[in-house]
């Protein structure tokens, strides 16, 4: 029996916005907290693998050559701020290239049948990075690199990305909004930074209907997330027929997170992971998670461990509650995916 795969690289710890931005929440301690908890539990039995660096060509699957060069050149010049909160230090290009490469290696291993589930746990995060714009702590969009690689080179026809980070995955949306081979379903707290992610944004051209924004009100917790997975994500996945499911796994929807106002617990993330694991099993496709946000290091560490337990096979699916948020979302999505809303 294959073990779940955990990808990481020491360069993740060398990207440090605290060099220039005191109090920055996206700091190396996030990863140290995760690895302390996992090391104490022998990595939950997962197989650890190194996250290789993405090549320039691989990064250019999701970004313009100009963007990749700009991030590299700023690092090589000693580093600097891209905006008031996004740091590209002298080690940051390397860290971001390994973060993208970890996600890419995860997709590669899953599509080669080496495991059913896995997690790339690296930083900086990626889902705010647009084709030619670093923002929101993100330099390269790791999950977008992985999804684009899966379609371009790994034999996947379709990839489903579920983004459960509390912030809108604007970068991932920008990269795939015109495509029908990557379906992005993104759940975010409505009204918070970066301000995008309206339910009206559904993609463009051949990608119309393949961007599914699911804004949720402040205070939303377990019931809302589980009902959205049950009423929207699972039926969509069934109709779309992905060869791979990737999770943009941010943990800032945790009730202890300092940057947002949702109400999930670590155990709730574990249950969400169980539901997505079971969805993958029903469809016969692997499930990979890629770390995004999460800014309370203890809550982040516990939530990552709970997610790994769920992905790794612990726990059972539960009957999802009914919520008005999910009912309304299912009605909206039915416009593009009639067969999914039964
Ligand atoms: Zn976030």
Average pLDDT (239-256) is 98
Question: In angstroms, what is the span from residue 43 Cα to ligand 1's centroid?
Answer: 25
User: Residue 4 and residue 307: Cα distance in Å, rounded?
Assistant: 12
Question: In angstroms, what is the span from residue 166 Cα to ligand 1's centroid?
Answer: 5
Q: Count the residues in the chain.
A: 342
| Average pLDDT along the chain | 98
Whether residue 1 is predicted with pLDDT greater than 70 in this model: the reply is no
19-22: long-range contacts (C-beta < 8 A, 24 or more apart)? 19/79, 19/87, 19/89, 20/79, 20/80, 20/81, 20/87, 20/89, 21/81, 21/85, 21/87
User: Residue 52 and residue 100: Cα distance in Å, rounded?
Assistant: 9
Reply yes or no on whether 128 is catalytic. yes
Q: Which residue intervals of the chain are DSSP H helices?
A: 28-40, 56-59, 65-76, 92-111, 142-153, 170-176, 222-228, 234-240, 266-283, 297-312, 324-333
Which of 15, 67, 127, 128 is flagged as catalytic? 128
Question: In angstroms, what is the span from residue 113 Cα to ligand 1's centroid?
Answer: 30
Question: In angstroms, what is the span from residue 338 Cα to ligand 1's centroid?
Answer: 31
Whether residue 173 is predicted with pLDDT greater than 70 in this model: the reply is yes
Question: In angstroms, what is the span from residue 74 Cα to ligand 1's centroid?
Answer: 24
Q: pLDDT per residue over 62-95, tens digit each?
A: 999 999 999 999 999 999 999 999 999 999 999 9
pLDDT value at residue 66: 98
In sequence order, the 6+-apart residues with CB closer than 8 A to the CB of 164 are 187, 225, 247, 248, 249, 250, 253, 272
User: Residue 29 and residue 6: Cα distance in Å, rounded?
Assistant: 19
Question: In angstroms, what is the span from residue 208 Cα to ligand 1's centroid?
Answer: 25
Q: How confident is the model at residue 231 (pLDDT cuts 50, 70, 90)?
A: very high
Average pLDDT (210-232) is 98
Q: pLDDT per residue over 103-124, tens digit each?
A: 999 999 999 999 999 999 999 9
Name the burial class of residue 336, with classes exposed (0-12), middle (13-18) and buried (19+) by CB atoms within 10 angstroms of its CB: middle
pLDDT value at residue 200: 97
User: Residue 322 and residue 214: Cα distance in Å, rounded?
Assistant: 16
pLDDT value at residue 134: 98
Question: In angstroms, what is the span from residue 161 Cα to ligand 1's centroid?
Answer: 15
Average pLDDT (208-230) is 98
Question: In angstroms, what is the span from residue 252 Cα to ligand 1's centroid?
Answer: 6
Q: pLDDT per residue over 29-51, tens digit each?
A: 999 999 999 999 999 999 999 99
pLDDT value at residue 340: 84
pTM of the entire structure? 0.98
Average pLDDT (299-318) is 98
Sheet holding 211-216, edge to edge: 47-50, 5-8, 117-120, 287-291, 244-249, 159-163, 182-189, 211-216
Question: Any idea which residue has 């969509």 for tokens?
Answer: 236
Q: How confident is the model at residue 96 (pLDDT cuts 50, 70, 90)?
A: very high
pLDDT value at residue 342: 59
Average pLDDT (281-302) is 98
Question: In angstroms, what is the span from residue 66 Cα to ligand 1's centroid?
Answer: 26
Whether residue 228 is predicted with pLDDT greater than 80 in this model: the reply is yes
Question: In angstroms, what is the span from residue 215 Cα to ligand 1's centroid?
Answer: 13
pLDDT value at residue 339: 87
């Amino acid at each position: 029996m294959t073990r779940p795969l955990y990808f990481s690289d020491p360069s993740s710890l060398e990207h440090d916005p605290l060099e220039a931005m005191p109090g920055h929440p996206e700091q190396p301690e996030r990863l140290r907290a995760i690895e302390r908890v996992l090391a104490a539990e022998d990595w939950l039995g997962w197989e650890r693998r190194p996250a290789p660096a993405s090549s320039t060509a691989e990064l250019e699957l999701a970004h313009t050559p100009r963007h990749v060069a700009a991030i590299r050149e700023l690092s090589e010049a000693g580093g600097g701020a891209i905006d008031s909160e996004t740091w590209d230090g002298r080690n940051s290009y390397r860290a971001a290239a390994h973060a993208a490469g970890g996600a890419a290696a995860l997709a590669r291993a899953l599509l080669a049948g080496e495991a059913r589930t896995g997690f790339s746990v690296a930083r900086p995060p990626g889902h705010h990075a647009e084709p030619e714009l670093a923002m929101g702590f993100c330099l390269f969009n790791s999950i977008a690199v992985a999804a684009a690689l899966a379609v371009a080179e790994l034999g996947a026809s379709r990839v489903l990305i579920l983004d459960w980070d509390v912030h809108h995955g604007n970068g991932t949306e920008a990269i795939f909004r015109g495509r029908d081979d990557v379906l992005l379903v993104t759940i975010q707290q409505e009204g918070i930074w970066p301000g995008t992610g309206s339910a009206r944004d559904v993609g463009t051209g051949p990608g119309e209907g393949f961007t599914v924004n699911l804004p949720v009100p402040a205070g939303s917790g377990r019931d809302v997330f589980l009902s959205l997975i049950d009423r929207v994500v699972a039926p969509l996945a069934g109709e779309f027929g992905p060869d791979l499911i990737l999770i943009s796994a941010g943990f800032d929807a945790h009730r202890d997170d300092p940057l947002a106002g949702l109400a999930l617990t670590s155990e709730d993330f574990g249950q969400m992971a169980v539901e997505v694991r079971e969805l993958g099993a029903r469809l016969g496709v692997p499930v990979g998670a890629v770390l995004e946000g999460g800014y309370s290091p203890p809550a982040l560490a516990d939530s990552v461990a709970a997610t790994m337990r769920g992905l790794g096979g612990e726990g059972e699916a539960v009957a999802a509650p009914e919520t008005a948020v999910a009912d309304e979302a299912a009605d909206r999505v039915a416009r593009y995916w009639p067969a999914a809303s039964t």
